[in-house]
Structure formats: C-alpha cells, structure tokens
Amino acid sequence: MDRNQKTGFVTLIGKTNVGKSTLLNKIIDQKISITSRKPQTTRHRLLGIKTKDTSQAIFVDTPGYHIGQKRALNKHMNKVALGSMEGVDLILFVIEATRWAQEEEELFSRLKFHKDKLLIVINKIDKLKSKNELLPFIEFLRLETGLDKIIPISALKSNLNTLESEIFEFLPIGKHLYPADQVADTTLRFMASEIIREKCITRVGDEIPYRLTCMIDDFIEEEIIHINATIFVEKESQKGILIGESGNRLKSIGIAARKDLEKLLSKKVMLKLWVKVKKDWTDNQALLSSMGYKGD
C-alpha cells in the first residue's frame, strides 16, 4: 500500500430536494444518481467514488429526510438516511440557502452527536435574490449549530473546488477500496430501473411519483441488450395516467429511458415496459422488501 494513500466514506444527508444527488453527480462528474424537481426522488443508499491522485472519497447518497408522512416507504427512507451517519468519516449536512425550519432542526438534533465529523454545505446559493443574504445566514448557522465548518456552494455553478478540497483534506490514511476509474458501486440492473423511474417521474403529475417504482424483469446482455421492466403503481387511475392516451406517455418514457441506457451501456438497447397495479405497495412492508426496499 502507498503510505500516502487516503481513503474515507463521506455521507450526504439532508431533507428532500436540497440537491444531494445533483451534488454527488457533479463531484463524481458522472450521473450515477437520478434527479428531478420532485421531492423523495432518491429512495436507496447509493455509493459514488471519486479518486484524485492518492485520495479516494467514497460518497454515500441517501434519501431525503422528511417528516409528516407515515407510510412504510417513508419510514424505510428515513431509516436509510439516518443509518448512513454511522461508520463514516465525514458527514455533509446539505441544506438550502437561507432555509432552516423544522426538518433541518430535527435532523441536526441527531447530527449534533457527530460534530467532530460534520460539515454543513449550503447549496443553491445561485438562487439567492441577493448575495447579501448569505453572510447573515452563515452567522446564524454558526450560532445555531456551534459549527465553523460551513461551505456555501451551488452544485451546478460554483465553489465545488473548495468543498472537494475540504473533503479530501478530511480523509484518513488508508488503502484505496476501489480501482481509480470506478465511479459507482451498484449493478447495471439497478441503474436501469432508476433511469426508467426517473423518466416516469419527470413525465407525470405530483402524486404519482411517490406511488410508482420500477423492477427489472430481464436484463439480457448480448450484442443488443434486451431489458424488460415493470412499473408498479397503486391504483388503476395511476396506471391510466402513466400509459397515457393511446400509450403515448409510456412510449415517451421508453424512448427517453432507452436513450440514457444506451449512453450508460455503450450498446444498443431493446427496452420493453409494462405497467401493473399493486394496491398500497408503499405501505406494505412485505411488498417493499420484495421490491428491493430492504435495509440497504
């Protein structure tokens, strides 16, 4: 082992829709975590890997922490998010610029026991109406949390180099766990299901994204990759919306998903989609487990 090597686990935690997945994709410089404007897009614990010279950071992207929803799926997502704090070397508490409300307070009440490895990342500073809002908010956070490690960024536009430098500085001495060119630790089947789910989310209204999931039935790797997938919803009405008039919405989902899959796999993809109803699957622990929503 190179004695100069540094390796560590870095978890990203925060409430829903603060830009954790966008931030991870930007740091890794590859899309490994799906994103959308809809809250609760990320449902699983995902690993992204960034190797730079002798340092390797293994990032843990987590579902957004949220309160007020009691279905089994919501409980699962919060459990995964909170569990990601254990056994890591650095916690990035991602919040949105000038936003500090009940969810942030409740989450910090758990994070404060890990202050020695906690760094607050203020995201979306590009959305501020005035730059003059930022410094008072940073000072408020210092008083509220007792932390000095606070870095403002825009995951899409600015200050990522400062954040990356802080992350790599924090990593402990240790042997790299992954090859230097590996950027994710997940299966192609899982990534395919997430790409399909992302295309569904971006093409339907506000209710259905929280009531749909995708499972890969077949993933056959030949000269042309054949993928058969089933999209599950909770109601017949949701099925109709997802399929669309004359099947046009489902066709649009398939075209967009196939395009991303071919980019990911560097091969031609034959994709077939089905939509099925599983009543109240989001509140049925047995069904959740069978669909892959386990302990992560």
The answer to whether the Cα torsion of 25, 228, 222, 256 is positive or negative is negative
Query: pLDDT at position 63, please?
Result: 79
Query: pLDDT at position 23, please?
Result: 93
**Read out DSSP for 77-145?**
HHHHHHHTTTT-SEEEEEEETT---HHHHHHHHHHGGGGGGEEEEEE-GGG-S-GGGHHHHHHHHHHHH
Query: pLDDT at position 78, please?
Result: 67
Query: pLDDT at position 34, please?
Result: 61
Query: pLDDT at position 187, please?
Result: 84
Q: Which domains does the chain have, with CATH numbers?
A: 6-170 (3.40.50.300), 188-290 (3.30.300.20)
Check: CB of residue 198 under 8 Å from CB of residue 168. no
Check: CB of residue 60 under 8 Å from CB of residue 87. no
Task: Extract the residue ranges of the chain whose pLDDT is less than 70.
Answer: 1-2, 34-45, 66-69, 76, 78, 206-207, 209, 293-296
Query: pLDDT at position 156, please?
Result: 82
Query: pLDDT at position 29, please?
Result: 86
**Residue 112: how many CB atoms within 10 A of its CB?**
12
Q: Give 199-214 pLDDT, tens digit per residue.
A: 998 888 766 767 888 9
- Cα atoms in the Cβ-side hemisphere of radius 13 Å centred on 229: 31
What gap in Å lies between CA 178 and CA 124, rounded to an integer?
A: 31
Instruction: Supply the pTM of this predicted model.
Output: 0.78
Query: pLDDT at position 149, please?
Result: 93
- Token pair of 90, please? 């650095």
CA angle, corner 18, sides to 15 and 24, nearest 5?
Answer: 110
